[in-house]
Structure 1
């Protein structure tokens, strides 16, 4: 397994997608050897030096702890890392939508983590172990770090990251749901986690079937009407971001706290949980027999 580059920057930067490909070598995608880091640093746009959020060390520390703690089961690292990455890298949604930031984290800061987490296991049809390039510079639902940050952003219940850990503990849920527009509706996200916790939906086929039904119903039914949400207070997020400079490192054995926003109204979550349960009964689940 590859190690971190010999040159790891002290601060985060912006790496344009057009500049990424020369560093996605066959040796890197096979998990054999990483770039040195010096040449990559030459094409990185720096971020403002007066913002303490851009220090690399807290992120390096997190990924190194994750690789050690979950060395026997790499997929379990997602549920642990997602809330802690979100609480460490305190971003606005506009900042998080900039792919150049995630490109830089994946290639300059922690390519060894990307390889550790996403190097495929050999199979009969694909005996060569390989990392899909999208894990370094792909869309938000595929890129190694952006998918975790956005999962935490969309599934947190105000300051509570508990639903994030539950959601990210199911690979099928995160992979499917991050591509749904309706997931930005907070009661929808919390209702999905509640169904997951109840054990009603567990397998990939069940989750895919339910998500298809939710998206289809959402095209004709406005979930905002069925399950209204409270408007967010932008001041809470601004204060949380401003506190980044003095915030201690996130806890390793307890979940951190997110922005001090109001949680989702319980009556809205309960209403959607009941409605989604009814949808699931007729959802198109492959392999499910009628009457199951």
Structure 2
């Protein structure tokens, strides 16, 4: 397994995909050898703001702790790391939409974590172990770190990250649901977590079937009417971001707190949970018989 680069930058930067691609060598994608870091540092775009959020050390510390703590359960690291990454790297959604930032984290800051988490296991058809390139510079729902940050952003309930832990504990859910436009509706996200927690939806086929049904129903049913949400106060997010300079490191044993935003109205979560449960009962799932 590869180790971290000899040169790890002190601050985050922006790394264009065109500049990144030459460093995605076969040796790296096979998890055998990582770049040294010096040459990569020459092609990044520095973030000009003097902002505590751009410090690399807290991110390096998190991923190293995750690799140690979950050395016997790599997928289990997702549910632990997602809320802590989100609370450490306090971004606006506009900042988080810039793929160049995630490119830099994936390749310059923590390529060893990407390899540790996403190096495939050998199979009869593919005996060679390999890391998919999209884990370094892929879309938001596939790149190693952006998928965790966005999962935390979309599934947190105001400042509460507990729903994020539940969501990220189910790989089928985050793989499927992060592609859905409707997941940006907070009651929808919380209702999906409730269905996980009550055991109604658990397996990949069930998650995929329900997700397809929710998308299809959303074409004719406006979820905002059935389950209205309270408008967010952008000042609370700005305050939370501004506190990054003085915020202590996130706890390893207890969950951090997210932005001090109002939680999703409980009445709306209950309404959608009940509606999705009824929808699920009539959703065709391969291998499941629907009662008459």
TM band (smaller chain): over 0.9
The answer for the alignment partner of 2:75 in structure 1 is 75
The answer for the alignment partner of 1:185 in structure 2 is 185
Q: Using the alignment, how far apart are the partners of 1:290 and 1:195 within structure 2?
A: 18
The answer for the alignment partner of 1:204 in structure 2 is 204
**1:48 to partner: Cα distance:** 2.1
The answer for the alignment partner of 1:153 in structure 2 is 153
Output the TM-score relative to the length of structure 1: 0.99
Deviation sequence 1:66-121 (CA, Å, 0-9, x none):
00000001000000000000000000000000000000000000000000000000
Q: 5+ residue gaps in structure 1?
A: none
Q: Secondary structure at the match of 2:75?
A: helix
**1:49 to partner: Cα distance:** 4.3
Q: Using the alignment, how far apart are the partners of 1:220 and 1:85 within structure 2?
A: 36
Q: Is the 8 A contact 1:209 1:285 kept in 2?
A: yes
Equivalent residues in 2 for 1:1-292, closer than 5 Å: 1-291=1-291
Q: Using the alignment, how far apart are the partners of 1:51 and 1:69 within structure 2?
A: 29
Q: Using the alignment, how far apart are the partners of 1:222 and 1:211 within structure 2?
A: 16
What is the total number of aligned residue pairs between the two structures?
292
Deviation sequence 1:208-246 (CA, Å, 0-9, x none):
000000000001110000000000000000000000000
Deviation sequence 1:10-56 (CA, Å, 0-9, x none):
00000001111100000000000000001100000001241111000
Q: Secondary structure at the match of 1:74?
A: coil
Q: Secondary structure at the match of 2:43?
A: coil
Deviation sequence 1:174-220 (CA, Å, 0-9, x none):
00000000000000000000000000000000000000000000011
Q: Using the alignment, how far apart are the partners of 2:223 and 2:215 within structure 1?
A: 10
Q: 5+ residue gaps in structure 2?
A: none
Deviation sequence 1:118-172 (CA, Å, 0-9, x none):
0000000111000000000000000000000000000000000000000000000
Deviation sequence 1:222-272 (CA, Å, 0-9, x none):
000000000000000000000000000000000000000000000000000
Q: Is the 8 A contact 1:90 1:241 kept in 2?
A: yes
**1:284 to partner: Cα distance:** 2.3
Q: Is the 8 A contact 1:151 1:168 kept in 2?
A: yes
Q: Using the alignment, how far apart are the partners of 1:221 and 1:48 within structure 2?
A: 45
**1:290 to partner: Cα distance:** 2.9
Q: Secondary structure at the match of 1:75?
A: coil
Q: Is the 8 A contact 1:159 1:259 kept in 2?
A: yes
Q: Using the alignment, how far apart are the partners of 1:27 and 1:231 within structure 2?
A: 48
Q: Secondary structure at the match of 2:241?
A: helix
Q: Secondary structure at the match of 1:102?
A: helix
Q: Is the 8 A contact 1:236 1:260 kept in 2?
A: yes
Q: Is the 8 A contact 1:213 1:284 kept in 2?
A: no
